[in-house]
Amino acid sequence: MTPVPPSRGAARSADPIPARAGIGLRFPHHDHVLAHKPDVPWFEVHPENYLGFGVAADDLETIRRDFPLSLHATGLSLGSADGIDAEHLGDIAELCRRIQPGLVSDHLSWSFADNLHLPDLLPLPYTLETLAVIAGNVDRVQTALGRQILIENPSTYLAFADSALTEAQFLGELTRMTGCGLLLDINNVAVSAGNLGEAPADRLDLLLEYLPAGAVGEIHLAGHAIRPLDSGVLLRIDDHGSPVSPEVWLLFRNLVECIGPRPTLIEWDTDIPAFDVLWGEQATAQSVLDACAWRPARVFAR
């Protein structure tokens, strides 16, 4: 394996997102947020919906005047063997320059190959070859943006026969090689564990065991769908279309008790409800963070 140097661009943001509960902002709620300026500590958006100019981009600049913002990308395709789309990266960098986000993140996945872009977070084989590819891509992004990015653990439906590392080992190595952080999506932990026949708590423990102390820069919470298959097996689908499940709330509480409060986001992307529903979920997440605010972060590096 070719050694990948630590990222030259990795740097802490000068405008951090607070370790409080925020909300994923989607276009149907722009009017509400612009008109009412709700008491939400921060918002997160998908930058792909705000690139260039136009109504959405203008809204975002207005909202940024009153709220810290985080950018959660879905299209950088960090695991792509074909590399990073330079034009797309340039667009993301320009948006970062305009709105000065507190955090920037994308996923441990790929979506671009053979000049095709598929709007999905497609799975990667966890091999040393893949590790070198994604480390190089993360380094390129961090250098272009001049900052550290966070990488989100994926929802898994299938695994490759030739994976040599676990997801936890892979993410641990990636953070060490590039200086990137982890966006720990608890819902994805529950979805992946359910689909792979694992206990969600065990999967979460394994992630924490392999990650450097302090690597978790953000937490995501969302709902998922459960579909019974003919075989009787339950297929969990990460659709972000329902309230956070009790199982995920429990994992979240245990996680925050373990590592201390982190910026935590409520995501809801399909069948988007009224803003007050999201606000209620946000309040629940905030109450968990408040209850654990006194706890010192446990050191969990191997």
Partner 1 sequence: MSSLASLQRRMSHAILDGDIDSMPPLARGPIPLEAAFEVHRNTVLGGLSNALRLNFPTVDILVGEAFFDQMACAYIKAQPPRRARLMGYGDGFPGFLDTYSLVDHLPYLSDVAALDLAIDHALVARDESVRRSVAIEPGISLSLPVSLTGLGLSYPGDLIRAALHSADDQALAAIDLTRQPRFIAIWRTGRQAAVRSLSPPAGVFLARLLANATAEEALAEVFTTTSPHVALPAIQAEVFAAGFARIDHTNSDGQTP
Answer yes or no whether residue 36 interacts with partner 1 by CB under 8 A.
Answer: no
Tell me whether residue 73 or residue 184 sits nearer to partner 1 (CB atom): 73
Answer yes or no whether residue 247 interacts with partner 1 by CB under 8 A.
Answer: no
Q: Closest by alpha carbon to 13, among 124, 135, 118, 99?
A: 99
Quick note: the x/- pattern for partner 1 over 65-84, rule CB under 8 A, is ---------xxxx--xxx--
What residue type is assigned to position 155 of the chain? S
Shortest distance, position 167 Cβ to partner 1, whole Å: 13
What residue type is assigned to position 17 of the chain? I
Q: Closest by alpha carbon to 217, among 44, 100, 91?
A: 44
Answer yes or no whether residue 39 interacts with partner 1 by CB under 8 A.
Answer: no
Shortest distance, position 28 Cβ to partner 1, whole Å: 12
Q: Rounded to whole angstroms, how far apart are CA atoms 66 and 48?
A: 21
Interface residue with partner 1 among 164, 235, 258, 272 (CB under 8 A) is 235
| Cα–chain center distance at 81 | 21
Q: Are 149 and 137 in contact (CB under 8 A)?
A: no
Answer yes or no whether residue 126 interacts with partner 1 by CB under 8 A.
Answer: no
| Cα–chain center distance at 61 | 22
- The beta-carbon contacts of 51-56 under 8 Å, at least 24 apart in sequence, are 51/91, 51/92, 51/94, 51/95, 52/91, 56/27, 56/30
Quick note: the x/- pattern for partner 1 over 146-175, rule CB under 8 A, is -----------xxxxxxx------------
Helix, strand or coil, per DSSP, at residue 217: strand
Tell me whether residue 48 or residue 205 sits nearer to partner 1 (CB atom): 48
Stretch near partner 1 under the rule CB under 8 A, chosen from 86-94, 179-187, 213-221, 278-286: 86-94
Q: How many residues bind partner 1 (CB under 8 A)?
A: 55
Q: Are 185 and 151 in contact (CB under 8 A)?
A: no
Shortest distance, position 259 Cβ to partner 1, whole Å: 29
Q: Rounded to whole angstroms, how far apart are CA atoms 103 and 285?
A: 19
Shortest distance, position 50 Cβ to partner 1, whole Å: 9
Determine which helix (DSSP H) or strand (DSSP E) holds 103, and give its type and residue range.
strand 103-107
Six-digit token string for 236 = 């969990």
Answer yes or no whether residue 55 interacts with partner 1 by CB under 8 A.
Answer: yes
Q: Rounded to whole angstroms, how far apart are CA atoms 197 and 228?
A: 14
Shortest distance, position 184 Cβ to partner 1, whole Å: 22
What residue type is assigned to position 278 of the chain? L
Answer yes or no whether residue 229 interacts with partner 1 by CB under 8 A.
Answer: yes
Answer yes or no whether residue 254 interacts with partner 1 by CB under 8 A.
Answer: no
Residues near partner 1, by CB under 8 A? 48-49, 51-59, 74-77, 80-82, 85, 87-88, 91, 110-120, 122, 124-125, 127, 129-130, 133, 157-163, 195-197, 229, 231, 233, 235, 237
